């Protein structure tokens, strides 16, 4: 499997401001002077020495992730604003000819997880088939409402593609056999209005996407064995890490997790690779990088020797 991140912000898109851009450029130029850069041929090597918050932007688009199976089929997780760029990429293939079969798994229907769908080009192409997998019975109605007048000029049901809805019963939580060797199942998360994690298994590898979840210390207490069973020994876990620990106390019951608790979860569940995502829109790249460094330090203080920690960045890919 290959997992790619197309949108990593939470709550709403957060494009970089001119003020933050100027700070980045100034910091880079100061470092270039200190490094004695005098020729353009030195730039590429110099750029590799920059800290993560200066080397690139973490990204301002809201949640969208793809899973590409070993057979080459692509599965989409959520349709935040990041799905727009994904749509352009898909239009380089069969979707441009109306021959696309697109499978979309929705964690929940808060706006930052569906707001990119009206700008997802393949939905406007006749012949394309969009399969929506969702634990919500009224999924069709919800998608129609966000594109109804006066909110959007093109009604959802008037777009040319064919839409199909596959209901995932939260009570039964039966695994879905997507391919001969690819199985997907799901798990309820603590979030206002509900949210669901998805787990992909193929070739002996496991990937879990668990955004918009409020993980707290109680999940480590007796009675949460189901949570442990679902998440344990995951090869790659992308997990909600929106807040600092202090902010998570202030925003208790808002449905999101601190990066400190996300690391605790990763260590407790023996996760091999953990990716912090759903970044707070008010945080600059410098603040996100500070949080990332603090997460690494927290892991070291917890004697972490098994879990590799990343901060989600648009365009980032993982191969399992």
The 10s digit of each residue's pLDDT in 172-185 is 999 999 999 999 99
The band of 222, judged by pLDDT with boundaries at 50, 70 and 90, is low
Neighbours of 281 (CB within 10 A): 16
| Alpha carbons 70 and 60: distance in angstroms, whole number | 29
**pLDDT tens readout for residues 279-312:** 999 999 999 999 999 999 999 999 998 999 999 9
Q: What is the pLDDT of residue 252?
A: 83
Residue 71: is its pLDDT beyond 70?
yes
Show Cβ contacts of residue 133 under 8 Å, excluding neighbours closer than 6 positions: 103, 104, 105, 106, 166, 168, 176, 184
pLDDT score, position 251:
80
- Taken in order of first residue, the domains within the chain and their CATH numbers are 2-13+57-319 (3.60.15.10), 18-55 (no CATH)
* Whole-number average pLDDT of the chain: 95
pLDDT computed for residue 255 by the predictor: 83
Terminal-residue alpha carbon distance, the chain: 5
Tell me the per-residue pLDDT of 116-171, one tens digit each, with 9 for 90 and over. Answer: 999 999 999 999 999 999 999 999 999 999 999 999 999 999 999 999 999 999 99
Q: Which residue in 247, 259, 251 sits closest to 292, CA to CA?
A: 259
Within 10 Å of residue 218's Cβ, how many Cβ atoms?
11
As a whole number, mean pLDDT of residues 260-265 equals: 96
């Amino acid at each position: 499997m290959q997992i790619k991140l197309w949108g990593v912000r939470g709550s709403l898109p957060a494009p970089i401001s001119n003020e933050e851009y100027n700070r980045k450029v100034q910091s880079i130029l100061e470092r270039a002077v200190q490094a004695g850069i005098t020729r353009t041929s030195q730039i590429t090597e110099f750029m590799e020495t920059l800290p993560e918050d200066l080397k690139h932007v973490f990204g301002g688009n809201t949640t969208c992730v793809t899973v590409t199976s070993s057979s080459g089929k692509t599965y989409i997780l959520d349709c935040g604003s990041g799905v727009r760029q994904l749509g352009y990429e898909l239009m380089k293939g069969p979707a441009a000819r109306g021959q696309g079969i697109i499978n979309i798994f929705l964690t929940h229907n808060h706006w930052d997880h569906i707001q990119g769908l009206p700008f997802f080009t393949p939905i406007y192409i006749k012949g394309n088939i969009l399969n929506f997998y969702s634990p919500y019975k009224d999924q069709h109605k919800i998608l129609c409402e966000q594109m109804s007048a006066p909110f959007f000029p093109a009604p959802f049901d008037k777009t040319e593609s064919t839409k199909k809805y596959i209901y995932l019963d939260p009570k039964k939580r039966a695994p879905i056999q997507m391919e001969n060797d690819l199985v997907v199942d799901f798990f309820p998360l603590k979030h206002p209005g509900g949210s669901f994690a998805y787990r992909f298994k193929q070739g002996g590898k496991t990937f879990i996407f668990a955004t918009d979840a409020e993980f707290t210390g109680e999940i480590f207490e007796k009675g949460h064995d189901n949570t442990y069973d679902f998440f344990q020994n995951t090869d790659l876990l992308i997990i909600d890490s929106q807040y600092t620990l202090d902010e998570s106390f202030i925003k208790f019951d808002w449905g999101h997790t601190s990066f400190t608790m996300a690391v605790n979860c990763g260590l407790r569940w023996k996760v091999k690779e953990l990716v912090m995502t759903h970044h707070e829109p008010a945080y600059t790249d410098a603040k996100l990088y500070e949080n990332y460094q603090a997460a690494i330090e927290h892991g070291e203080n917890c004697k972490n020797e098994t879990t590799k920690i990343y901060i989600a960045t648009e365009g980032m890919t993982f191969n399992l």
